[in-house]
Structure 1
Amino acid sequence: MKTIKKAVQCEINVKKSQFICSLFPTKNKKESKEIIQKLNRQYSDATHNCTAYIVGDGEGFDDDGEPGGTAGKPIINVLRKNELHNITAVVTRYFGGIKLGAGGLVRAYSKSVMEAVGEAEIVEIEEYSVYKLTFEYSDIKMVDSEVRNNHLTTIDKEYCDKVIYEVVSPDMIDIEKIFEKYSGKISVEYKNKQFLEKI
């Protein structure tokens, strides 16, 4: 599966109308809706803020007042054609005084998204099971050694009263099994599944 590494923005002008396409990597509908609300506020003076998203828990699109099927659908179609997931697209339009017609709108919204996708850094993503390791500071060396020797990947580290690592196994090795010999010293807890850049 593919997504974009980081947010990107691209601008095109068609017959005096300005189209600004903003793409964001997003995990779920909640994140997508927060981004869409934020851009609606940022571009509250725009004629339209048309949107589309494809995320883990669903997909959707919105014409935001443009004639039905001329904005949201072309946007999501470009995302699908490029096989992009975990992504939200917002195309902001400032009307330039010249009507584009249905075909012109479809072409303009599609082109703005294609330009942005062309500028984005595309990365492969995969779904991984994330585990949380909790242990004492005195055990850091031992845990680091096990992580290295078993080709695990640490995606987050937290240093509080105890040390917390979030780890994934690219080879789907049983992480609980690796650390069962340290029972009592290292707490291993399944956290969730996440789409991460391919390891």
Structure 2
Amino acid sequence: MKTIAKAVQSEINVKKSQFICHLFPTKTKKESKEIILKVNEKYNDATHNCTAYIVTDGEGFDDDGEPGGTAGKPMINVLRKNELHNVTAVVTRYFGGIKLGAGGLVRAYSKSVLEAINEAEILEVDLYDVYTLVFEYSEIKTIDGEVRNNQLEVINKEYSDKVIYDVVSKDNRDIEKIFEKYGDKIIIEFKDKEVLVK
């Protein structure tokens, strides 16, 4: 799976219309919608702010007033063709006075996203289930042993009144089964899906 390392911006001009594309790394629809809202606020004087996103819990696009199928759909198609995931694209258009027609709009919005992708640092990543383990300090040695023996990866550790590990299994081992033998000594909860660089 591919995604982008960080947010990028690019700009093209087509027949006096200005197209500004922003690409953002995002994980969820909620995150995408929050970013889209911020871009809309920043460019509230623009003629259109068209959007497309592909994230872990779905995908979507919006033409924002452009003729149906001429903006959001071409944008998401470019993301798909480039096999990008966990990314949100927003193309802001300032109309220059010359109509582009349906074909011209499709080409302009597609090119705008493609230019931004060319500017981006592309990462090869895998998606893993993240589990949270909560246990007493007295169990650290035992839990660390299980983590090591089962080739699990601890991606976050917290030490408060109890020890908290966020763990993933790179070969999709069932983490719950590994630790179920400890009964009430350890609390296991599914936390999230996490993207990790290969």
Q: Smaller-chain TM-score range?
A: 0.7 to 0.9
Secondary structure in 2 matching 1:156: strand
1:8-47 equivalences under 5 Å are: 8-47=8-47
Aligned-partner Cα distance in 2 for 1:126–1:90: 25
Does the 8 A contact of 1:125 with 1:195 survive in 2? no
User: Which string of whole-angstrom CA distances, capped at 9 and with x for unpartnered residues, describes residues 136-179 of structure 1?
Assistant: 34554554454334321122222322221110110223334444
Q: What CA deviation, in whole Å up to 9, does each residue of 1:37-86 have, x standing for no partner? A: 11111111111100111223322211111122221111111011112222
CA distance 1:91–1:163, shift in 2 (3 Å): same
SS in 2 for 1:80: helix
Which residue in the other structure is 2:188 paired with? 189
- Where do residues 45-124 of structure 1 align in structure 2 (5 Å cutoff)? 45-124=45-124
- The alpha carbon displacement at 1:26 in A equals 2.0
> What percent identity do the matched residue pairs reach?
75
TM-score, normalising length from structure 2?
Answer: 0.86
C-alpha distance in 2 between matches for 1:75 and 1:95: 18
Whole-angstrom distance in 1 between the partners of 2:163 and 2:49: 44
- Structure 1, unmatched stretches of 5+, are none
Give 5+ residue unaligned stretches, structure 2: none
The 1-side partners of 2:36 and 2:189 are apart by 32
TM-score norm. by structure 1 comes to 0.86
Tell me how far 1:33 sits from its aligned partner. 1.3
Please state whether the residue corresponding to 1:118 is helix, strand or coil.
helix
Moved more, 148-157 or 114-123: 148-157
